[in-house]
Structure 1
């Protein structure tokens, strides 16, 4: 029979507990071996007077004749130090000897339990004056879910200070474990592992199993409060091979941010040679941090990059920059900087906003000499702008300044956009107008400037006002919307390089009528209940001709011909051209909707324009549009099941019976981390390309539908190929191989991207990540490359980001 002794019990009412409590006290003070009969008598007395499970114990009174147990508090995830110190100590074992307020010895299946700490051993001694436990022989500790096993233990229970020899340990916080010659417990949150190992790999049932990676160190300090570990005189072993000796390394025990060195990045290319970057992360505050990255390029020199981020309730932003003194290849200093800031404020006069997005680099070669750092500083058009906004009810106001930096390539020059220095815009969109009317008004004043005016157009000040009013009539079976729009513009030119006049004003009205019908019927296709719709639509617009040939183009471009623009009243974006249209657009769409969920299973559409008169307003150098019937737009989308999808748009010329432009795409996604996408794009006399992207498991094990045992590892292939039929060559290609196991992942990517008409950039990217420890990268981050280039790519799971388990999930 097991013996249970309570060395510290809660006080009871003296009268009902007198006889049994007196017997327990006499038993606890005896210095001889305890009698099992006495213990059984005590237990029976307590059970006889205890309330049933789920009942509340009645309050004690003078008439009570039996013991009354105090109700137990709810089990708590964490206990405070003061609360833990008041908890009783439970001792259990086959044989127990000792004396009250002195040493108690338990042998044979010995166990001590106090609060969230449990100790099991072959032999266990508890010294009550110092609240210290001594154990030897198959010693096992469970402290709030973290488990330690060894041969000899000395532990002060309240402060949790002591040592454990020949120990194996497993931490609850991140399920990491290891072995040690000795573990020193500093307190409940800190411990030191001597001559030990550390890994997050999870053991399987094989006797010959060894972790894929581990840290082997002379000393490993573990701080569960700060959630960080520090290894000294350490070496990182992978597959049993030492790969990275480090005198001292810090690693996280969770996803919590901490200051320290981040994994280095190394690369090798023909321009810069060997490159080594060592970032340092500074966790300034919960809402502020900084990253400082010194970099050495053998062929160029040294550079220093930095990033500072801040986050407040009403604003947030990022400051970043790079400086390289005396680039050996370019014989000049190189630099870049950016500032991104967003703020919002509710004030008595309305909502206020401030947005800043400033980007600048040192020279036109920067975009192909330096790799992207996530802020797109390697683009050839760098936009810098700052804006202040105000909004209240139906009114909004925007003041903006915008300036472009154009990075020119002599082999493929581009025309710089015009700067807006500044722009003031006002919008009014009244709500709840009478008679069902809808209206809006917009006024804008912009000063256009260009430092390098390749178009030879004059800089100008432009003001425009645009007002529109409509009355939609909407019913379940259709709609009709008449609309009237008025556009007025005024230009003041700086010189007459383009125009012979210094001022120009235009006022142009537009009327339109949009209408459509909706028919529905129930149908059944391929065993599936569906609702089929038929939605014919007709759109008429009229804009009289106004000569705009003497007006420069500052922010205007022709719309692509598509389903999104074929039902529009203007053929141009921006306000420098208002097309003189007198045309009717007709079209029809039919949809198949799931009868139960309403999800669209398939869609087919057709549309065409009929022009009643020539369009004379065109972009500079273009010919007037004189065809009566436009090309036919054909579109289809099929999403019959969540796994399959198909979309196509075809611009068909009925005169020659050929496609002018076509886009077709199909995707297949049977599950997570499995995707295949194919696209075909054709534009007559310009380009014809095939695009294939995928992420797919490569071994036959994945035929189990993703039920493979955790930790056995999975190999995936991932990539994208973009092939030009016109040039008969690959334009862009990204091909990679990934592995994801329970405690590490790896990816290698070969990337070749076209960065100009005659030049391509080829890189080999490699990365290995040890879950919960570090990530080693060679070249640019392959994850960024795959996210940017592979449609539908999903980052493989590595076990990071899991919630901290409860201590009761590992309860003894």
Structure 2
């Protein structure tokens, strides 16, 4: 190629892939996200990337541009004045750019700037052996696209195209402010950072994390991932205070076994108890996934015994078993060492901090259009002498078969199921014998449906028998019962255009009538293993049997009448408001009841009133009232309202009354305190802005009006400084009629780097309705968002 010498006009050339090529540069430093909420995501398939494939990169053309270009063929090329080299996702700009072909050496001087896939590097001097990719960059400044982080170093040494070493490096996400004395609120300094692109890891030596000018986390050696890969290593410690366990310090270790498997070890030092060894293992495969968690505390100082607990969840589909189809398997196992575990270890997973722990496993499969399931369920009941629980029955084993068919013989629909179950528990607590129960249930219906109306007649038959281990209170060792049921469900859907408050709506009127008849079959002397009374609400008032389970089929001769009206947006169909009312009319007494409850003789049931209103995105409310027309008082009421005018602003309140039992008020909120003294219309009204600082109040209070006490409470403050977030949260939750657990959680979140302290975010998300993380990056920024 011939290059004109000393040509003053600007020029632009496309060079061969060998000439002046910069194959790769330093990738962004993306620190491991320790104790992240939610947990790091397992991947079953490779993630799509915007990076240029390595086999395509050598074939890319290179473009050179500048005010003057001169050189000698096969010796050197020199570009001066606004020099620019562009190749693929890499752009180099400098005042002067030289390339010596004999040494394969590229040299850029004067305001050197590199844009590598949106990541910026600037400095005075770059020297690079292109083919070997060996060289250095003096006094570079860098800014990374992924976390909007930046830093500077005395030198970057490129060892090869995969490895580099940054000398005297810094890293922060605090945005630079005007003024010569400004310093970032937090900054990571390291003597050196070694980069290895092949393994996508980085190692910082002599690292110190400083906050507000004070070193808070000196780390002799810190390993972190490059890009978005998870990285094995020690995570920052978490610290909390608990009124039972004292000071709690957890030092987690994360093990990235594979893209679809990982494990976390989290030993916890509790000042009053000892060292709790905890571990979690997760896996994700195309046909199965699961999560295993376990804790072991040897010789608890407060209880003077070993404490342990484990939780195992496993779900699997597409098992390859002969002659079977649609086969799946699940297991949900939870067990702890003693009855006090649920009140002592509130920080552990929710499944291990309950008084009823299920150990449930099942296998399901299909043969033609019949589905089968085999299940075994055993309960661990954590008893409290002050509040004894009657344990539920174990089901070991349980075998069930089901079949559903539609459009048979002129539109008939059929469903049947058969089940055999072995029930076992402690007879001294249940006051009835263990037994094996078999039942067969079938139904046939013929729906007639059209726009604006529906009619569905249905016939059902329920037959069951028992084989008791010991005689019942009535002296029976065996028993059987057959119960038929007939029902008729019907309704209309009427519509009209209307206008309310100056807004057009589509209003519906949906009257509904539901009749059910079940003759009396004496079942009150039979034991009850799995039946209970359904909640009285709009979902259950239109069903044939008011009991769940299969030990009680109520005798009914009743008619349920109800009506619903909705206000719909005529354009989108969104529901702006809904109002409903329903009531049962009973024609004869219901004699089949649960043990210890009287017959139902009221001819008119309580009235149900329900409403939900969402006229504006900011306001929303809903409520259900169960009203007794005889006493003219509500039996149960639930009313809730929500106000959310924008991101990070939500207040919700709920009132719940169950007359004679409980009356509670539940309030939750997340709100910026700066709104009290700032103009909300200003640019600081949302999180994620500049580092000027915003305070947020968060909390939830559940108060018992009947007992005049706080049942559960959470109060906290969050401070968003733009590049870091501070949180302090105080928790209180009930563990008994007169006992409670209290915790204080502190957390510092350095945006784009790490979190230090207790896991406060988990508590906020679980307890505050519609709580939003102040920082939550949904997707990785595209390299084209910072494209030159």
Shift of 1:318: 1.9
Residue 300 of structure 1: aligned partner: 273
In the alignment, structure 1 residue 703 sits paired with structure 2 residue 691:
no
Going from structure 1 to structure 2, the CA distance change for 1:767 and 1:253 (only over 3 Å counts) comes to farther
Q: Which deviations, in whole Å up to 9, do the C-alpha atoms of 1:532-571 show, x marking residues without a partner?
A: 2222222221111122122111111112222222222212
Going from structure 1 to structure 2, the CA distance change for 1:588 and 1:35 (only over 3 Å counts) comes to closer
Deviating more after overlay: 737-746 vs 649-658:
737-746
**Partner Cα distance (1:590, 1:135) in 2:** 74
Contact 2:700 2:767 in 1 (8 A): yes
Residue 178 of structure 1: aligned partner: 151
Going from structure 1 to structure 2, the CA distance change for 1:545 and 1:426 (only over 3 Å counts) comes to same
Going from structure 1 to structure 2, the CA distance change for 1:91 and 1:523 (only over 3 Å counts) comes to closer
**Structure of greater Rg:** 1
Residue 20 of structure 2: aligned partner: none
Contact 1:722 1:730 in 2 (8 A): yes
Residue 311 of structure 1: aligned partner: 284
Q: Which deviations, in whole Å up to 9, do the C-alpha atoms of 1:20-51 show, x marking residues without a partner?
A: xxxx36x5xxxxx63559x99x99xxxxxxxx
In the alignment, structure 1 residue 618 sits paired with structure 2 residue 593:
yes
* Aligned counterpart in structure 2 of residue 561 of structure 1, from 511, 532, 536: 536
Going from structure 1 to structure 2, the CA distance change for 1:622 and 1:172 (only over 3 Å counts) comes to closer
**Partner Cα distance (1:729, 1:265) in 2:** 31
Deviating more after overlay: 174-183 vs 351-360:
174-183
Contact 1:278 1:295 in 2 (8 A): yes
For 1:761-772, list aligned pairs within 5 A: 761-772=741-752
**Partner Cα distance (1:537, 1:368) in 2:** 47
Going from structure 1 to structure 2, the CA distance change for 1:429 and 1:135 (only over 3 Å counts) comes to closer
SS at match of 2:219: strand
Q: Which deviations, in whole Å up to 9, do the C-alpha atoms of 1:609-638 show, x marking residues without a partner?
A: 121111111111111111111111111121
Deviating more after overlay: 237-246 vs 378-387:
237-246
Residue 444 of structure 1: aligned partner: 419
Deviating more after overlay: 731-740 vs 366-375:
366-375
Q: Which deviations, in whole Å up to 9, do the C-alpha atoms of 1:340-399 show, x marking residues without a partner?
A: 111111766321011111111111111112234335211111000110101355311111
* Aligned counterpart in structure 2 of residue 753 of structure 1, from 730, 733, 747: 733
Residue 767 of structure 2: aligned partner: 789
Contact 1:84 1:158 in 2 (8 A): no
Going from structure 1 to structure 2, the CA distance change for 1:104 and 1:602 (only over 3 Å counts) comes to closer
**Partner Cα distance (1:185, 1:89) in 2:** 23
Q: Which deviations, in whole Å up to 9, do the C-alpha atoms of 1:241-278 show, x marking residues without a partner?
A: 22211111223444321111122222232322222221
**Partner Cα distance (1:801, 1:192) in 2:** 31
In the alignment, structure 1 residue 128 sits paired with structure 2 residue 101:
yes
* Structure 2: runs of 5+ lacking an equivalent: 14-49
Residue 477 of structure 1: aligned partner: 452
Residue 803 of structure 1: aligned partner: 780
In the alignment, structure 1 residue 249 sits paired with structure 2 residue 222:
yes
Contact 1:439 1:470 in 2 (8 A): yes
Contact 1:88 1:114 in 2 (8 A): yes
Contact 1:223 1:229 in 2 (8 A): yes
Residue 343 of structure 2: aligned partner: 368
Residue 16 of structure 1: aligned partner: none
Going from structure 1 to structure 2, the CA distance change for 1:457 and 1:111 (only over 3 Å counts) comes to same
Shift of 1:803: 1.5
Contact 1:93 1:111 in 2 (8 A): no
For 1:86-235, list aligned pairs within 5 A: 87=61, 90=64, 92-93=66-67, 99-103=72-76, 109-111=82-84, 116-203=89-176, 209-224=182-197, 226-235=199-208
SS at match of 2:154: strand
Residue 428 of structure 1: aligned partner: 403
Contact 1:251 1:773 in 2 (8 A): no
* Aligned counterpart in structure 2 of residue 387 of structure 1, from 362, 371, 385: 362
SS at match of 2:317: strand
SS at match of 2:680: helix
Going from structure 1 to structure 2, the CA distance change for 1:660 and 1:100 (only over 3 Å counts) comes to same
Deviating more after overlay: 420-429 vs 279-288:
279-288
**Partner Cα distance (1:228, 1:174) in 2:** 17
Contact 2:240 2:743 in 1 (8 A): no
Q: Which has the higher contact order (CA 8 A, sep 6+)?
A: 2
Residue 240 of structure 1: aligned partner: 213
**Partner Cα distance (2:512, 2:72) in 1:** 96
Shift of 1:138: 3.4
SS at match of 1:454: helix
Q: Which deviations, in whole Å up to 9, do the C-alpha atoms of 1:764-809 show, x marking residues without a partner?
A: 112112123221123xx222212221111122225x4542432x54
Contact 1:394 1:431 in 2 (8 A): no
Deviating more after overlay: 679-688 vs 142-151:
142-151
SS at match of 2:231: coil
* Root mean square deviation, CA, Å: 2.6
Contact 2:712 2:732 in 1 (8 A): yes
For 1:595-614, list aligned pairs within 5 A: 595-614=570-589
Shift of 1:479: 1.9
Contact 2:472 2:527 in 1 (8 A): no
Residue 406 of structure 1: aligned partner: 381
Residue 34 of structure 1: aligned partner: 6
* Aligned counterpart in structure 2 of residue 729 of structure 1, from 706, 709, 723: 709
* Aligned counterpart in structure 2 of residue 466 of structure 1, from 441, 460, 466: 441
In the alignment, structure 1 residue 659 sits paired with structure 2 residue 634:
yes
Contact 1:662 1:683 in 2 (8 A): yes
* Aligned counterpart in structure 1 of residue 492 of structure 2, from 506, 510, 517: 517
Q: Which deviations, in whole Å up to 9, do the C-alpha atoms of 1:135-179 show, x marking residues without a partner?
A: 444333334443322233322123332112222122345432211
* Aligned counterpart in structure 2 of residue 668 of structure 1, from 604, 627, 643: 643
Shift of 1:227: 4.2
Equivalent pairs, count: 745
In the alignment, structure 1 residue 777 sits paired with structure 2 residue 757:
yes
Shift of 1:414: 1.1
Deviating more after overlay: 225-234 vs 544-553:
225-234
Shift of 1:598: 2.1
For 1:18-97, list aligned pairs within 5 A: 24=2, 27=4, 34=6, 36=8, 78=52, 80=54, 83-84=57-58, 87=61, 90=64, 92-93=66-67
Contact 2:235 2:252 in 1 (8 A): yes
SS at match of 1:699: helix
Deviating more after overlay: 419-428 vs 349-358:
349-358
Contact 2:557 2:587 in 1 (8 A): yes
**Partner Cα distance (1:811, 1:572) in 2:** 65
Shift of 1:239: 2.5
Contact 2:66 2:81 in 1 (8 A): no
Residue 261 of structure 1: aligned partner: 234
Going from structure 1 to structure 2, the CA distance change for 1:735 and 1:467 (only over 3 Å counts) comes to same
Contact 1:402 1:422 in 2 (8 A): yes
Contact 2:338 2:382 in 1 (8 A): yes
Shift of 1:121: 4.0
SS at match of 1:197: strand
Residue 70 of structure 1: aligned partner: none
